[in-house]
Structure 1
Amino acid sequence: MDNFLLSNKVIIITGGTGILGQAFINGIVRAGGTVAILGRNKEIAEQRAAQLQKNGAKALALIADVTSEHELKAARHLVLDTFGKIDGLVNAAGGNMPGGIIQPHDSLFSFDIEALRQVIDLNLYGTILPTRVFGEAIAENGSGSIVNISSMASQQAITKVLGYSLAKGAVDTFTKWFAVELANRYGDRIRSNAIAPGFFLTEQNKNLLTTPTGSYTERGNLVIDKTPFKRFGSPDELVGALVWLLSDASRFVTGTVITVDGGFSVFSGV
Structure 2
Amino acid sequence: MSKIIVITGAGGVICSALAKALAKEGHKIALLDLNKDAVDHLAKEIQVAGGIAISLAANVLEKDSLNAARQKVNKQFGSCDILINGAGGNHPLGTTSNTHFLEEDLKKNEGDFKTFFDLDTEGVKFVFNLNFIGTLLPTQVFAKDMIGKKGCSIINISSMNAFTPLTKIPAYSGAKAAVSNFTQWLAVHFAKVGIRVNALAPGFFLTEQNRTLLTDKNGDLTSRGKTIIEQTPMGRFGDPEDLVGTTLWLCGEGSGFVTGVIIPIDGGFSAYSGV
TM-score, with structure 2 as normaliser: 0.92
- Partner amino acid for 1:67? L
Equivalence for 2:18 = 24
- Partner amino acid for 1:89? L
Q: Deviations over 1:212-264 (max 9, x none)?
A: 22210011011111101111011100000011101111000000011100001
> Which of the residues 229, 234, 237 maps onto 2:239?
234
Q: Deviations over 1:140-159 (max 9, x none)?
A: 54540100001011011201
Distance in 2 (CA, whole Å) between partners of 1:52 and 1:230 is 32
Q: Structure 1 residue 45 and structure 2 residue 39: aligned?
A: yes
Given that residues 151 and 253 in structure 2 are in contact (C-alpha distance below 8 angstroms), is that contact kept between their aligned partners in structure 1? no
Equivalence for 2:221 = 216
Distance in 1 (CA, whole Å) between partners of 2:211 and 2:118 is 28
Distance in 1 (CA, whole Å) between partners of 2:142 and 2:149 is 11
Superposed displacement of residue 39, structure 1: 0.4
Superposed displacement of residue 110, structure 1: 3.9
- 2:153 is paired with a residue whose SS is strand
- Partner amino acid for 1:34? K
- 1:59 is paired with a residue whose SS is strand
- Partner amino acid for 1:223? I
Equivalence for 1:102 = 96
Distance in 2 (CA, whole Å) between partners of 1:58 and 1:112 is 42
Gaps of 5+ in 1: 1-6
Given that residues 85 and 141 in structure 1 are in contact (C-alpha distance below 8 angstroms), is that contact kept between their aligned partners in structure 2? no
Q: Equivalent residues in 2 for 1:1-270 (5 A)?
A: 7-104=1-98, 105=105, 106-139=114-147, 141-183=149-191, 185-186=192-193, 189-270=194-275
Choose 48-57 or 237-246, whichever is displaced more: 48-57
- 1:109 is paired with a residue whose SS is helix
- 1:258 is paired with a residue whose SS is strand
* Greater C-alpha radius of gyration: 2
Given that residues 128 and 175 in structure 2 are in contact (C-alpha distance below 8 angstroms), is that contact kept between their aligned partners in structure 1? yes
Distance in 1 (CA, whole Å) between partners of 2:149 and 2:64 is 21
- Partner amino acid for 1:160? K
Q: Deviations over 1:105-164 (max 9, x none)?
A: 533234211110110000111011111111111225454010000101101120111111
Q: Which runs of 4+ in 1 moved over 3 A?
A: 140-143
- 2:198 is paired with a residue whose SS is strand
Distance in 2 (CA, whole Å) between partners of 1:143 and 1:77 is 21
Given that residues 86 and 141 in structure 1 are in contact (C-alpha distance below 8 angstroms), is that contact kept between their aligned partners in structure 2? no
Given that residues 165 and 174 in structure 2 are in contact (C-alpha distance below 8 angstroms), is that contact kept between their aligned partners in structure 1? no
RMSD: 1.2
Give the number of equivalent residue pairs: 261
Q: Deviations over 1:45-98 (max 9, x none)?
A: 111112222332110101011111110000000000011121101111101111
- 1:220 is paired with a residue whose SS is helix
- Partner amino acid for 1:19? V
Distance in 2 (CA, whole Å) between partners of 1:211 and 1:142 is 48
Q: Deviations over 1:149-198 (max 9, x none)?
A: 01011011201111111110011110001101111x31xx2100001000
Distance in 2 (CA, whole Å) between partners of 1:12 and 1:140 is 18
Distance in 1 (CA, whole Å) between partners of 2:53 and 2:148 is 21
Distance in 1 (CA, whole Å) between partners of 2:50 and 2:183 is 34
- 2:117 is paired with a residue whose SS is coil
Q: Which has the higher contact order (CA 8 A, sep 6+)?
A: 1
